[in-house]
Amino acid sequence: MRDEIEIIDTIRKRFNTYPPEVVRQIGDDAAVVRHDNRYLLYTTDLMVEDVHFNLTFETPYQIGFRLVSSNVSDIFAMGGEPEFMLLNIALREDLPPLFLDELMDGIEECLKRYGSSLIGGDISESINNIFLSATLIGYSMNPILRNGARAGDRIYLTGTTGDSGAGLELLKIIRKPLDIKLNQINLTPEDNKTLRSFSADMDSILYLLKRHLLPEPRPLHNILKDINSMMDISDGLSLDLWKLCRESGVGATIYEERIPLSDALKAVSTATGFDALNLALTGGEDYELIFTTSKQIDTSIIPEIKITEIGIITEEGFYIEKMNGRMEPLTPQGYVHLRKQNG
């Protein structure tokens, strides 16, 4: 079987003619269609039980929240605003009635968080696994594509990466759903005991768990006009930067010493033995933004969003400059569906 990237390339080659209002199709975080004086953005995400989520260590609320926020992230990655959502669900007959209520609680909370509305969808029964899919429609006056990076552009990253990957690693050890909601955490004494067994501070552990379970993408409003290309980090920093470079026909070099790591990731990695840098380069689902620009950005321009210059776009090649100054090839590693060994 071909892997996800090869399948998308195959589909893309076959469906290659579009009406003129289609500005961008397969190959970006969202499709872009001109409509009057603005652009409509369309993105969709599919979540499959035991592939994207696992009921042994997540609550239906958290799964619903993430279904919406992963789509919101793709709209923000285009410099857009999310507006309307369609929801498709395929459920097993044996699920308790509470499953649906809690799933809807998470979906509703996230839609509210981003000012979007559910306007339709479809339902089916499923024989084995649960399937969830959301399609989010947004708009932008000036969409930012993945394919606008030019040699010489500076590469910037919002926030920190690796946190969600570390949160997932913790969950795989905890193997129990924790009642963590957007504005409320209810841990049993037993949960507290389990989390304390990691011998890292509780705030750091909860921060990483929340980064994985309830990602909160953030838009980059103030500096959009200066940006040449942008995408969100959903599959891993190295893999997603490689995708951006591929779409733009350029290369990149990033500097290891500049990769931002959260204090929580550093603390928990020291306590547990996780490889923080590897998680930051290859861990998925951080839903941060990577963007390139020929300008030097004032990185303190948006007080609530940390922005770090992590590298430079080059004519070709994909490298990481290590702490010791040596240049090494950067392997685009992260999550690729249907690829046996991810990498």
When the beta carbons of 22 and 301 are compared against ligand ADP, the nearer one is 22
**Rounded least distance, CB 215 to Mg ion, Å:** 12
CA distances, 152 to each of 73, 104, 158, 165, 291 (Å): 26, 46, 19, 30, 13
Half-sphere exposure at residue 124, Cβ-oriented, CA atoms within 13 angstroms: 10
Is 247 a residue that touches Mg ion (CB under 5 A)? no
When the beta carbons of 27 and 260 are compared against ligand ADP, the nearer one is 27
Is 29 a residue that touches Mg ion (CB under 5 A)? yes
**Rounded least distance, CB 243 to Mg ion, Å:** 9
- According to DSSP, the residues that pair with 251 across neighbouring strands are 314
Is 288 a residue that touches Mg ion (CB under 5 A)? no
**Rounded least distance, CB 26 to ligand ADP, Å:** 4
Question: Is the dihedral angle over the CA atoms 102, 104, 109, 110 positive or is it negative?
Answer: positive
Tokens of 197: 């067994």
**Rounded least distance, CB 78 to Mg ion, Å:** 9
Interface with Mg ion by CB under 5 A: which range of 27-35, 83-91, 125-133, 310-318? 27-35
| Separation of alpha carbons 218 and 78, rounded Å | 12
- 50 exposure class (CB count in 10 Å sphere: 0-12, 13-18, 19+): exposed
Among 58, 74, 81, 235, binds Mg ion (CB under 5 A): 74
Is 45 a residue that touches Mg ion (CB under 5 A)? no
Is 109 a residue that touches Mg ion (CB under 5 A)? no
Among 109, 232, 286, 288, binds Mg ion (CB under 5 A): 232
**Footprint on this chain of ligand ADP (rule: CB under 6 A):** 8, 11, 26-29, 74, 234-235, 243
How far is the first Cα of the chain from the last one, in angstroms, to the nearest whole number? 16
Indicate which of ligand ADP, Mg ion, none lies near residue 260 (CB less than 5 to 8 Å, by partner kind).
none
**Going along 30-105, which residue ranges are E strands?**
31-35, 38-48, 81-91
Interface with Mg ion by CB under 5 A: which range of 66-74, 156-164, 219-227, 301-309? 66-74
Residue 123 phi, psi dihedral angles, 5° rounding: -135, 140
Shortest CA distance to 66 belongs to which of 89, 92, 45? 45
When the beta carbons of 26 and 327 are compared against ligand ADP, the nearer one is 26
**Rounded least distance, CB 231 to Mg ion, Å:** 6
Residue nearest to Mg ion according to CB distances in the complex = 29
DSSP for 206-274? HHHHHHHHS-------TTGGG-SEEEE-SS-HHHHHHHHHHHHT-EEEEEGGG----HHHHHHHHHH--
**Rounded least distance, CB 42 to ligand ADP, Å:** 8
Indicate which of ligand ADP, Mg ion, none lies near residue 26 (CB less than 5 to 8 Å, by partner kind).
ligand ADP
Residues of the shown chain interacting with Mg ion in the complex, contacts defined by CB under 5 A: 29, 74, 232, 234
